[in-house]
Chain A
Amino acid sequence: MEERRPILHMKDIHKHFPGVKALSGVQFRLFPGEVHALMGENGAGKSTLIKVLTGVYSIDQGYVEMEQKRIAIQSPQDAQEAGISTVYQEVNLCPNLSVAENIFIGREPRRFGRILWKEVNRAAASLLEERMNLSIDVTLPLHAYPIAIQQLVAIARALNISAKVLILDEPTSSLDRGEVRQLFDVMNKLKGEGLAILFVTHFLDQVYEISDRITILRGGEFVGEYAASALPRIELVSKMIGKELKLLEELPKQQADANEAAGELLLEAKSLGRKGSIEPFDLSIRKGEIVGFAGLLGSGRTEAARLLFGADRPDQGSLRMGEAGAVHTPRQAIDQGIAFCSEDRKGEGIIDDLTIRENIVLALQASQGWFRSISKKRQSEIAEQFIEALNINPPNPDQLIKNLSGGNQQKVLLARWLLTDPKLLILDEPTRGIDIGAKAEIQKLVMSLSEKGMSVLFISSELEEVLRVSDRIAVLRDRRKVKEMSGDDMSEQQVMKAIAGGGEG
């Protein structure tokens, strides 16, 4: 393999954004006739690298070689002309045009300026037939077909425009198993025809099923390039997370709190699931217990939490909260004492244009209704109390929340939910993107809350953190809850093995 020359070679790529080194010294090689998986956790630089390659971002330092020739990619147009095509997770086609139109839009065969529709349809049908093994009616609008077919159509269009390198960015995240199978068949066929495919996914099983080689990035840096067959799963996970397995074994085991059996049952989910988001799972949480969710990005952690809060509707299973019964909407969840801090702090948490004070009282006020208004004086008192207790900066209740740093925004959101005095607090990535000091404060707070009898569901990508705060840990992988562990079973090594799955690798 090594004698062959790479069709695409990215050398020593650097990319800076104000205040952030998104990529530093990253290299990437892609050979003809291979599927190459690009792996990394959130913020590792995968999407930046792809955007650099497709001309969305310009390169600060380093260069790209295509077939041993240096090329400058200044725009997506340049990338396409160089033979690099991309198919994104969400299909970038026009759903209301026909399949054939989507494939040939802008490049229709014409005669005397008239589009030859018959020729368009015939060519589209034969293209799909030959390259995708897909025989469908190409005159129907694209939206008549499921996402999987739309994805294949997008690939066909990409190949038809220019086809040396194909980038598939999270193509499988909205597909079911059969559809993934179909996509993989096509990928294998194209690979056999000599196409180089760059594949991005966070499903480990799929990586091992389809890829020949794996490049791992972490924190914007190049970790290594490996043959898939020579890299055990658990090593892949430890390289992505950035922890050496040997070191882990030497770490002292965390002492779990002894109160796990003591508390009464608070919440019980039975085979709760939602198609395309999380497979049915059982979960029970006791009073005063901290349950951690561990798993990689996209493993279904957030999806499971959203079902528990009623933010998404489950399509099967049941959820009971104490005596009170079912939960269908966020509002019902709040009324029954559940609070949910979303991982998407900016999109689903803070209300930008409101002040710290207003953001804090929002959930309590919502549950009190329109007319039992909390007076402005009382609001300020509450806000000042939390600003002091959580050390929120700036300590001014009338500051707009959008002007705060991430960590302080997170504290305001915590205050919002603590004010409602919940029985169960769901924290999805509460420490992501905030500085170490604030991180430690939030972890301490969570533990002291549980001592006072509040149950907490703690979700985090950082294993260390989950292990430190949790009494019990549920591990999720590929949208399934795969393991639950508590007490002495809980170690980084055990959790990592469960995350990696597929035996010992």
Chain B
Amino acid sequence: MKHHLFWPVTVLALLLLFNLLYDPSFFSIKLREGQLYGSLIDILNFGAPLILVSIGMTLVIATKGIDLSVGSIVAIAGAMACLTISKGADQNSIGLVATAILMSLALSLALGLWNGLLVAGVGIQPIIATLILMVAGRGIAQLITSGQIITVTSDNYEYIGAGSLFTLPFSIFIVAVMFAAASLLTRKTAIGLFIESVGNKPVASRLAGIRSRAVMIAVYLFCGLCAGIAGLILSSNVSSADGNNAGLWYELDAILAVVIGGTSLNGGRFYLAGTVIGALIIQTLTTTIYTIGVPPEITLVVKAFVVLVVCLIQSESFRKTLMRRWRTRRYPAEKELTRHA
């Protein structure tokens, strides 16, 4: 059996190779004004929010759940932070920015808790429970921004999504920290084992003494937090909050990233590193579509097609069928010989 990262890494490498052949300057990275620039850096930078959301989504999906509300939480978190800053006298003061960040993260956690309680406490199916916040959340975000786009002028806030540290975009460090935190929490404590157990066999897990409710609430909390941080990065990058469009369709990209990364929607085993690569594949694909100049009206179709191919390549049964067809077409006689072997 191949390593679980084999296919995601292969697909990512193929995508990058395609870009290299199409435009040899794709891999070039330049240092300008103490900051690195280049397509690869862009992919990491713009992909940061998606990676974060996908990490949270991975744990939720591992419990056989799903969180459709992450896009809305992204919008709400951005709106909350921008609103707080825009009300301040000195928009750039560290204290105000810190307050804004804390308030919006607290709100994200509260929304995660809401999802968790609906799923684990009330017992609503995850897809329905989180659909509530997916729809209502857009409304909440617009209530916070009063239906306007709130613009802020705060260098300190802007640093989260657009600043740079050690020549790299700051958002990359946020992602690294969250990825490390998620990995440590799930691999160094027993939480990872419980998540996989509950996702794989809820009844057997209960009989083994696992408090599955607490596990479920924890993953939705964490997912909410990840989406909140992603919301901060996105809104800080453009110094504004758009309740209507920020984080739109993020939930779908995130679910896709998780699946491409090798975690099954049936719950159980999960692969955080796979998810990160899955999110990078999606971001690279988006970037590629822009660089090769696909007409905007068919970009979604192209994206859908590539995603379909990626998913098919990942499917073991599809690969086997394909190989069998291919062999029979080329060596019909040989198949006849080996049939009885």
Q: How far is the CA of A358 from the CA of B210 in the complex (A)?
A: 13
Of the candidates A348, A358, A373, A416, the one whose C-beta lies within 8 Å of that of B203 is A348
Across the interface, name the chain A residue whose C-beta is closest to B211: A331
B67 on the interface (CB 8 Å rule)? no
- Chain B nearest CB from A258 CB (Å) reads 34
Q: How far is the CB of B210 from chain A (nearest CB, A)?
A: 5
Given A348-B207, A350-B204, A366 and B194 contact (CB-CB distance below 8 Å)? yes
Stretch at the interface among B31-39, B160-168, B185-193: B185-193
Pair B189/A373 contact, Cβ less than 8 Å? yes
- Distance, CA A366 to CA B214, complexed state (A): 12
Chain A interface size band reads: 20 to 34
Q: Given A353-B269, A371-B189, A373-B188, A366–B204 Cβ distance below 8 Å?
A: no
Give every chain B residue within 8 A of A214 (Cβ-Cβ).
none
**Interchain CB contact under 8 A, A362 and B210:** yes
A340–chain B nearest beta-carbon distance, Å: 6
Q: Considering the complex, which residues of chain A in the window 350-365 have a beta carbon less than 8 Å from any beta carbon of chain B?
A: 350-354, 358, 361-363, 365
CA distance A354 to B193 in the complex (A): 9
Nearest residue (CB) in B for A365 is B190
Tell yes or no: A347 within 8 A of B by CB: yes
- Whether the Cβ atoms of B200 and A353 lie closer than 8 Å is yes
Given contacts A350-B201, A351-B200, A373-B188, contact A358 B206 (CB under 8 A): no
CB of A366 within 8 A of CB of B209, answer yes
Chain B residue at minimal CB-CB distance from A331: B209
- Please tell me if B208 contacts chain A, counting CB pairs below 8 Å: yes
**Residue of B188, B201, B269 with highest tally of chain A CB at under 10 A:** B201
Chain A residues within an 8 Å CB radius of B211: 331, 366
A322 within 8 A of B: no
Residue of A at shortest CB range from B199? A353
Cβ–Cβ < 8 Å partners of A353 in chain B: 196, 200, 268-269
CB distance from A349 to the nearest CB of B (A): 6
Contact A370 B190 (CB under 8 A): yes
**A311: B residues at CB distance < 8 A:** 206-207
B209 x A351 contact (CB < 8 A)? no
A340 to B203, CA, bound (A): 13
A334 close to chain B: CB less than 8 A: yes
By the criterion CB–CB under 8 Å, are A330 and B209 in contact?
yes
A330 x B200 contact (CB < 8 A)? no
Task: Please pick, from A330, A354, A369, A370, the residue contacting B197 in the complex, using a CB distance under 8 A.
Answer: A354
In the assembled complex, how far is the CB of residue A250 from the closest CB belonging to chain B, in whole angstroms?
A: 42
Interface contact B207-A330, CB-CB below 8 Å: yes
Task: Choose among A347, A352, A362, A369 the residue that contacts B208 (Cβ–Cβ < 8 A).
Answer: A362
Of all chain B residues, the one with the shortest Cβ separation from A350 is: B204
Q: Determine whether the beta carbon of B190 is less than 8 Å from that of A354.
A: no
Contact status B193-A348, CB under 8 Å: no
| Residues of chain B within 8 A of A494, CB atoms compared | none
Q: Is the beta-carbon distance between B204 and A340 smaller than 8 angstroms?
A: no
| Given known A330-B209, A342-B207, A363-B208, contact A371–B200 (CB-CB < 8 A) | no
Query: A369: which B residues are within 8 A, CB to CB?
Result: 190
Contact (Cβ within 8 A) B201 A351: yes
Q: Which residues of B are found within 8 Å of A350, using beta-carbon distances?
A: 201, 204
- Tell me, yes or no, whether A374 is within 8 Å of chain B by CB: yes
**B interface residues, tally (CB under 8 Å):** 21
Partner of B209, one of A349, A354, A367, A374: A367
Give the residues in chain A near B200, CB-CB below 8 Å: 351-354
Residues of B within 8 A of A370 (CB): 189-191, 194
Q: Report the nearest A residue to B268, measured CB to CB.
A: A353
- Measured between beta carbons, the chain A residues less than 8 angstroms from B156 are none
Known: A334-B209, A353-B269, A362-B210. A347 touches B190 (CB 8 A): no
Known: A311-B207, A331-B211. A371 touches B201 (CB 8 A): no
Among A330, A352, A358, A366, contact of B201 (Cβ-Cβ < 8 Å): A352
A416 and B190 contacting across the interface, CB-CB below 8 Å: no
- Chain A residues with CB under 8 A of B191: 370
B286 in the interface (beta carbon within 8 A): no
Whole-angstrom CA separation of A309 from B197 in the bound complex: 20
| B206 partner residues in chain A, CB cutoff 8 A | 311, 330
Q: Is A160 located at the chain interface by the 8 A CB criterion?
A: no
B204 to chain A, nearest CB (A): 5
Q: Among residues 368 to 397 in chain A, which have CB atoms less than 8 Å away from a CB atom of chain B? A: 368-374
User: Given the complex of chains A and B, what is the CA–CA distance between A372 and B190 in angstroms?
Assistant: 8
Cβ-based interface call for B183 (8 A): no
A425 to chain B, nearest CB (A): 14
Residues of A within 8 A of B268 (CB): 352-353
Tell me, rounded to whole Å, the shortest Cβ–Cβ distance linking A239 to chain B. 35
Closest residue of B by beta carbon distance from A372 = B190
- B204 engages A373 (CB within 8 Å): no
**Smallest CB separation, B61 vs chain A (Å):** 14
- Closest chain-A Cβ to B270's Cβ sits at a distance in Å of 10
Q: List B contacts of A368 (CB < 8 A).
A: 190
> CB of B151 within 8 A of chain A?
no
- The residues in A between 416 and 475 inclusive whose CB is less than 8 angstroms from any CB of B are 416
**In the complex, residue of chain A having the shortest beta-carbon distance to the beta carbon of B205:** A351
Q: A373 — which chain B residues lie within 8 A by C-beta?
A: 188-190
Closest to B191 in A: A370
A303 to chain B, nearest CB (A): 15
- Whether A347 pairs with B194 at a CB distance below 8 angstroms is no
Residue of B nearest to A340 (CB): B207
- 0 or 1 for each of A315-359: is its CB under 8 Å from B? (1 = yes): 000000000000000110011000010100001111111100010
A20 to B200, CA, bound (A): 28
> Once the chains are docked, how many angstroms separate the CA of A86 from the CA of B196?
40
Given contacts A331-B211, A371-B189, contact A362 B197 (CB under 8 A): yes
Q: Provide the bound-state CA to CA distance between A366 and B200, in Å.
A: 16
Return A494 CB to nearest CB of chain B, in Å: 33
Give A contacts to B, CB under 8 Å: 309, 311, 330-331, 334-335, 340, 342, 347-354, 358, 361-363, 365-374, 416
Q: What are 24 sample pairs from A and B whose C-beta atoms fall under 8 A apart?
A: A311-B207, A330-B208, A335-B209, A347-B204, A348-B203, A348-B207, A351-B200, A351-B204, A351-B205, A352-B201, A353-B200, A353-B268, A353-B269, A361-B193, A362-B205, A362-B210, A363-B209, A365-B190, A365-B193, A365-B194, A366-B208, A366-B210, A370-B190, A371-B190
- Besides A330-B208, A352-B268, 9 new A-B residue pairs in contact (Cβ under 8 A), listed by A number: A347-B201, A347-B204, A349-B207, A353-B200, A358-B196, A362-B197, A370-B189, A370-B191, A370-B194
